[in-house]
Amino acid sequence: MELNQLTAHELLEKLKAQQTTPEAILDSLYARIQKIEPQVKAYVRGQACLPSTSSQADLPSVGDRHACPLRGLPITIKDNICTEGLPTECCSKILQGFRPPYDATVIDKLKKSGAVIFPLKANMDEFAFGSSTENSYFGPTRNPWNLDYVPGGSSGGSAAAVASDEAIWALGSDTGGSIRQPASFCGVVGLKPTYGRVSRFGLIAFASSLDQIGPITKDVQDAAILTGLISGYDPGDSTSVNQDVPDYTKSLTGDIKNLKIGIPKEYFIAGMDEEVKTIIQEAVNKLKDLGALANSVSLPHTEYAVPVYYIIATAEASSNLARFDGVQYGYRASSDNLIQMYKLTRAQGFGQEAKRRIILGTFVLSHGYYDAYYLRALKVRTLIKQDFDKVFGEFDCIVAPTSPTSAFKIGERAQDPLSMYLSDIYTISANLAGIPAISIPCGFTKKGLPVGLQIMAKPFNEAMLFRVAHTFEQNTDWHKFKTKL
Amino acid sequence: MKYQTVIGLEVHLQLNTKTKAFCGCSTDFGKAPNSNVCPVCLGFPGSLPVYNRQALNSAIKLALAFNCQIQEHTKFDRKNYFYPDLPKNYQISQFDLPLSRNGYLDIYTQNLPKRIGITRVHLEEDAGKLIHETGCSLVDFNRTGIPLLEIVSEPDLNSPSEAFDYLNSLKSIIEYLDVSDCDMEKGSLRCDANISLRLLGAKELGVKTELKNMNSFKGVKDALTFEVERQTQLLETNQELVQETRLWDVEKAVTVVMRTKEGAKDYRYFPDPDLTVFIIEESMIAQIKAQLPELPQEKMRRFVKEYGLTEYDAKILVSSKNDAQFAENCIQNYPGEDKKEIVNWLIGPLLSEANLRKVKLHALNLNTNELISLIGFVQRQEISYLCAKNVLSQLIDTGKTTQDLIQEGNLQQISNADALSEVIETVIHENAKSVSDFKAGKTNALMYLVGQVMKKSSGKANPKVVGDLVRRRLS
């Protein structure tokens, strides 16, 4: 096995034992990228930005390496998380050339833990608007399992990079499934933490009340390590919660005996891929075999999740994206008239999906529609949250599919936004309710495309997710499969 | 008067907190453009706002002083509109759950008390400043994010001078609370006015005009006065009034149309998801209440009660916090029974000196003991009142003692008849006409003659003694 194929915890063991160096790990990644990146396109702004050898990389000094938990291990970052001095453009033309003068809190934490921020940023749907990474200004990323298929989105670049061993591990962001759905499509592990668990400072906002940064990794142990490192209260983010961060690796006990698992009946409906349904049912059976007690539960307001989400998320996005006006940074269309400059900059700078969501969000906040749409959506959001509260009163976790289908073909849904929106039907509720949810590999379709199993728990109980996910993983082989690239 | 004037004022007040409302940047005025800025107040992507507790504290303090109800759950909303001085293209403000509402302010107008309703007081962030130069416009973001209070009055003001009195009362309270420097020229206090006229007794409000661009309280009064006349004329000649925003042109002393209402603006307010609901607990309110200083109205009532001042005198002394403190210090140290004696000096000669020097009473830096000493000299008739006023002026300018100034100037009052007789003779000799007038029964002539003696003695003569001597000499 090449170094780049290993998990982070395996590499950390090697680094600790001085069997390898961060330089060697970076070199193996560079070699892999040289070889397969032209096909996968997980990263953006090309290999021109990539150093020819690792010596040019910003590595922590040898002394520091051993003092820090990550010992110079590289990590791949989604293009919407601010990295000081490194381009951060949300894969949008409108942020062209933007190099933040600050690090996101998560980046700061990772650097202090001894991580090397990988110099290339991961591809994504523009401003995280999408479920396929086709909406990137830089063009689509391809699914490493089958290059004709999408990797999911919006963190498709991060997921594809991890799945194809172009990254050891990565950070993504999840507003309605943007970590879990691509993790599911690419056969890797992806966690959306509890809202408030991880600081959003430096994450370029899509929908502030829903966004969370989270890990995309090769196995559950890596996810537990990374979540622990990026979590915690940040005085710079008023919505982050001041609650202790447990050592998540301690929850990897391998024991789920007598855990009560709820299977939401509303998630197994018409439109769901039969093959996926079977794979999920087998996974549930596996959990039962391992000692869990599974029962059907009801989340009655599930059917409203998608419409509620597209009202709240677009409303917030329409306001969050107002600042991209060409005045201070990023792309600016030239005009001698201010209003015209605004109009041209935004007309030329935003892609089609961004425009669609800005218009939708502007509409639902407009006078006369606010009560009918936005306010009503907030009320239904509360009902959806109460559905979960009720189930978690009795159950330790909820197990469901991550997505109703496996990866779809590039271009297949690009012209049909509604069908694209429905690919997040199982992931959106966790964002609306603010609860943590993880997606782990649980099988492959006959075409050889991965399928993800989603586990959800009550707020701040990420430990439960790691415990169940790890137990399942250790008793299956799905995470061990590698792409043919 | 056929019409009733209806005025409501909207005051924007910059709080004097050390740092901005949602970031740690300094609020210092007058710094180089774009030096008090950071990613948060510049609205850089990924940056997030965090409450300034001090700003909330000041806001609550002021709302309590205006007798407002404090909202238990307050939240911030985004007011969305595009403008280059607004880096996020939305302003963090408060919409449906303002920090406080339903307050009032008791003012004195034409010497009568009047209660003016305060609709709401809410906290928001200030915008930047556009600087227009030939060929280009520049933006200075130093002001961006400075905490701003919006204080909206009910349309309870019925004349430009009432509006003026309201603003002065407001300013006085703010000064007492020390939450803002209230400087209209620096823009730390801004005022817009809504004004309409209606037939006396009518229930419905008339068509209103919004007035902007006034940069002094007097400007507000002048703009409103102009507007009352303009609107009256239109109504009298049966012309249509249109709802519009007008700008005050201080040079030409007229208001000019800025924009006519083209339908209400849609700011698409919604709760700012970056800031959580802020809960103002009873204990916090109680704590702030306990720290509130004595406010002008209370102080005035106390001065009347404790020192036997008239309401009129007390009102003058309490309008400024520092002046009130200075005055109270003088009154307390004054050994005489009748405090009116020193108060007359304060609101008489002292206030004139202050006005002459364009400063506040307290800023004259007058030593209280020297003032009291000076009053003593006058009461013992050792110097004349006229001389004393000169000494006061020198006390302020030189910082010497009263004793020294009187000695140096040889100002001891002359009450001795022998010492005065020569001057009196000269005056009688030189003013034959006044003498004959007096003899013909015109008592005013005596005053004139006494005045001439005072003048010739450089104010040192005792006017009472001079009066007696002149009368005796001529009778």
Q: B-chain residues within 8 Å CB-CB of A431?
A: none
> Which one of A238, A322, A367 has the shortest CB-CB distance to B89?
A322
- Which pLDDT value is given to residue A53? 67
Is A154 among the residues known to form the active site? Answer: yes
Q: Is A366 on the interface with B (CB under 8 A)?
A: yes
- Is it the case that residue B458 has pLDDT exceeding 60? yes
Does the distance separating the beta carbons of A238 and B49 come in below 8 Å? yes
CA distance A325 to A94: 8
Q: Quote the pLDDT of residue B462.
A: 83
CA–CA–CA angle A87, A91, A95 (5° rounding): 60
Q: What CA–CA distance (Å, rounded) separates A190 from A381?
A: 24
pLDDT of residue A381: 98
List the one residue out of B379, B288, B245, B236 whose CA is nearest residue B99.
B288
- Show Cβ contacts of residue A301 under 8 Å, excluding neighbours closer than 6 positions: A380, A383, A384, A387
How many CA atoms within 13 Å lie on the side-chain side of B257?
A: 7
Is A158 considered catalytic here? no
Q: Is the pLDDT of residue A472 over 90?
A: yes
- Tell me, yes or no, if A236 comes closer than 8 A to chain B by beta carbon: yes
**pLDDT for the residue numbered A56:** 57
Of A312, A277, A111, the residue nearest A202 (C-alpha): A111
Domains of chain B: 3-288 (no CATH), 293-408 (no CATH), 417-474 (1.10.10.410)
**Between B42, B46, B80, which is nearest A104 by CB?**
B46
Instruction: Look up the ipTM and state it.
Output: 0.95
Interface test with A, best of B25, B38, B48 (most A CBs within 10 A): B48
What is the CATH topology of the domain spanning A3-262+393-480? Amidase signature (AS) enzymes (3.90.1300)
Contact B46 A202 (CB under 8 A): yes
Q: Which carries the bigger pLDDT value, residue B454 or residue A8?
A: A8
pLDDT exceeds 60 at position B398: yes
Residues of A in contact with B139 (CB under 8 A): 327
Q: Is B3 helix (H, G, I), strand (E, B) or coil?
A: strand
Confidence at residue A49, expressed as pLDDT on a 0 to 100 scale: 61
| Whole-number CA gyration radius for chain B | 29
* A365 Cβ under 8 Å from any chain B Cβ: yes
pLDDT of residue B336: 85
For tokens 């704590």, name the residue. B287
Known catalytic membership, residue A164? no
Burial (Cβ within 10 Å: 0-12, 13-18, ≥19) of residue A380: middle
pLDDT tens for each residue of A296-342 = 999 999 999 999 999 999 999 999 999 999 999 999 999 988 999 99
Residue, of B346 and B457, whose pLDDT is higher: B346
Q: Which of residues 273-332 of A touch B (CB under 8 A)?
A: 315-316, 318-319, 322-325, 327-329
Smallest Cα–Cα separation from A454: which of A266, A263, A211, A197?
A263
| Beta carbons within 10 angstroms of residue B175's beta carbon | 17
The amino acid that residue B166 corresponds to is Y
Cβ neighbours of A102 in B, within 8 Å? 39, 44, 46-47
Give me the residues of A, 31-70, that contact B with CB < 8 A.
none
Structure tokens belonging to residue B247: 């700008």
